[in-house]
């Protein structure tokens, strides 16, 4: 079994981590696991390239210019926009997934800080 990159819900089959790692979104998804192995999506060089793209996009607190939650949400939309040649940006799924997680984490932290400020 194999997950085609053109599958309509391919983004739901894989989970990207902010360190550039990739895994099947469900441990029972043999096709996703097999695709990772066949395409070597877990190759250390590819993991490092994804990690560097995530860092460069500002999606970690150790980034040179960490994004706000609002900017991370904007990045999600930008990552999923095709260019004039109908191509998506490099690592678009990894960036959009990590940006979603990052924005949610930043929003939760901001809410906690607002709660503490009221006390």
Q: Provide the residue ranges of all domains of the chain, joining segments of one domain with +.
A: 10-118
Please report, in tens digits, the pLDDT of each residue of the chain (119 residues total).
Answer: 999 988 888 989 999 999 999 999 999 999 999 999 999 999 999 999 999 999 999 999 889 999 999 999 999 999 989 999 999 999 999 999 999 999 999 999 999 988 877 76
Predicted local confidence at residue 6, as pLDDT: 84
Q: Measure CA of the first residue to CA of the last residue in the chain; give whole Å.
A: 55
Q: pTM to 2 decimals? A: 0.89
DSSP 71-113: HHHHHHHHHT---TTSPPPTTHHHHHHHHHHHHHHHHHHHHHH
Other Cβ atoms less than 10 A from the Cβ of 16: the count is 23
- Report the C-alpha gap between 119 and 115 in whole angstroms: 7
- Report the C-alpha gap between 71 and 103 in whole angstroms: 8
């Amino acid at each position: 079994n194999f997950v085609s990159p053109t599958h309509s819900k391919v983004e739901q089959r894989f989970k990207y981590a902010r360190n550039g790692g990739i895994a099947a979104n469900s441990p029972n998804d043999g096709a996703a696991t097999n695709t990772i192995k066949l395409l070597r999506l877990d190759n250390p060089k590819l993991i490092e390239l994804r990690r560097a793209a995530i860092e460069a996009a500002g999606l970690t607190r150790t980034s040179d210019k960490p994004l706000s939650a609002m900017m991370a949400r904007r990045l999600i939309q930008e990552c999923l926009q095709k260019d004039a040649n109908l191509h998506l940006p490099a690592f678009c799924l990894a960036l959009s997934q990590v940006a979603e997680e990052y924005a949610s984490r930043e929003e939760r932290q901001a809410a906690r800080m607002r709660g503490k400020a009221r006390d």
